[in-house]
Amino acid sequence: MVLVVIRTVLRPDADVAAYEALAVRMDALVRTIPGFVSAEDAGELSLVRFASLEALAAWRNHPEHLEAQRAGRERFYRAYRVEVYEQVRAYDGPAGRG
């Protein structure tokens, strides 16, 4: 399992409506990528999970997503940080309740 943690800060002059429309489109598009697992917003963070680094690469290089990434850099983001992680382990609890 691969986890991508994305933190973004919008430019003060960003067109928020255009940004949100693009974000909605990207949220729909990422769900079509084979190996996509889940996406969630958690405050200022987005957490996106893929089954493998290959699935993430397919998303990262999707032509429409590449265009959106460029729009993000050029028009929307003052700053962003993307962190890519591979899962080591996971566990649930309490036993029998989780």
According to the binding rule CB under 8 A, does residue 90 interact with a copy of itself?
yes
Binding mask 4-43 for a copy of itself (x = CB under 8 A): -x-----------------------------------xxx
Q: How far is the CB of 15 from a copy of itself (least distance, A)?
A: 16
Between the CA of residue 48 and those of 17, 78, 92, what are the distances in Å? Answer: 22, 21, 20
From the number of C-beta atoms within 10 Å of its C-beta (0-12, 13-18, 19+), residue 48 rates as: buried
Assigned token pair, 9: 């800060």
Residues engaged in binding a copy of itself (CB under 8 A): 2-3, 5, 41-45, 47, 53, 73-74, 77-95, 97-98
